[in-house]
Amino acid sequence: MSVQRPPAGPAALPSEIAFLLAEGVDGRLLVRAAAAAAAAGTDAATALLNAGLIAESAYYEALARALGAPYLDGPIPFGLGLRFPDSLVAGLAPLAPGSVSPWVLAPRGRAIADLLDAPGRAPCRAAMPAITSPTRLREAVFAAIPEQVADHAAHDLRRRAPERATAPEPALRWLLVLALAVTAALCLCAALPPPLTRAVVIAGQILFLAMAALRIAALAIAAPVEPEAVAPLAEADLPVYTVLVPLHREAAVVPDLLRALSALDYPVLCSNLTQKR
């Protein structure tokens, strides 16, 4: 005789997904998400969404109802102070005067639990920020301030770490220096007596052959240090990585790409394939 266990109650689930029970979400999916989150060392909401167990828009709409906040699914009327990438990193952006709320919020991760667990979280509907999904907020920000997004992509690295960015000086300067050096070397060789010129050329050839012979000989030399044997980590202890593979009009390489990704010897929590036209 088999006994079916009842779905876990709200007390047995993290608060960031427990409220979904009141929305009619299957408790077994929530238990599965909580177990995946514990194994991956992340929060349950992230595990639930990344595993595709619930649509992102449906989750954040339910979150807005649980918080007693308005939910923005259409166009977002941003106000002054919208900045990229600061607004996306914080998940918070100002709304225009006269909107349903002064701010729109797209919480992620453990910030969702902090909102749900906050005492007296919704004393006034007007004081609660409007809720939207991170994807909707990102799309709206990109559409509202494309110039800031393009400027950040093109110049942010040079502003923050100029030593890692492409040199600002034009390559023509270095080409001119190289041309002058070559011209000076040719003039010097032309001014030298022929025997001395031949001696310089032979010396250069000998130096080149010696360097090439050293590189070839290095292939036959054994490595002086043997690598230490390291015990493999358990799958639960491995770090979590996200692999993003953007494609645009490259349908011909998709089969080979999927085979290569499937050949990765690494535990996979979930995989999502998102297509945007």
- The answer to whether 165 touches 92, Cβ cutoff 8 Å, is no
Nearest residue to 27 (alpha-carbon basis) of 7, 54, 1:
7
Q: Which of 75-89, 121-135, 150-164, 207-221 has the highest mean pLDDT?
A: 75-89
CA distances to 17, 67, 87, 157, 240 from 263, rounded to whole Å, are: 33, 43, 37, 34, 17
Between CA 244 and CA 197 the distance in angstroms is 58
DSSP secondary structure of 178-207: HHHHHHHHHHHHHHS-HHHHHHHHHHHHHH
Q: What is the radius of gyration, based on Cα positions, of the chain?
A: 30
Kindly report, residue by residue over 36-58, the tens digit of the pLDDT: 888 888 899 999 999 889 999 99
What's the pTM? 0.58
Between CA 186 and CA 50 the distance in angstroms is 64
> Domain coordinates of the chain in residue numbers?
1-54, 56-160
Q: How many CA atoms lie within 13 A of 5 on its CB side?
A: 6
Length of the chain in terms of residues written: 277
Kindly report, residue by residue over 165-216, the tens digit of the pLDDT: 766 666 777 788 889 998 988 888 788 888 888 888 899 899 999 999 988 8
